[in-house]
Amino acid sequence: MSLELFLLLAAALFCIGLFGALTQQSIVMLMMGLELMLGGLIVGAAAVWHFIAPAAADGQVLIVIAVTVMAVEMAVGFAVITALFRAREVDITDMAAELRE
* pLDDT of 14 strictly over 80: yes
Class of 3-100 in CATH: mainly alpha
pLDDT digit string, tens, across residues 23-58:
988 888 888 999 999 999 999 999 999 888 888 888
- pTM here is 0.80
pLDDT digit string, tens, across residues 86-97:
887 776 766 666
DSSP SS3 for 92: strand
| CA–CA gap between residue 80 and residue 33 (Å, rounded) | 17
Residue 92: predicted pLDDT: 72
Quote the DSSP letter at residue 100.
G
Q: List the chain domain ranges.
A: 3-100
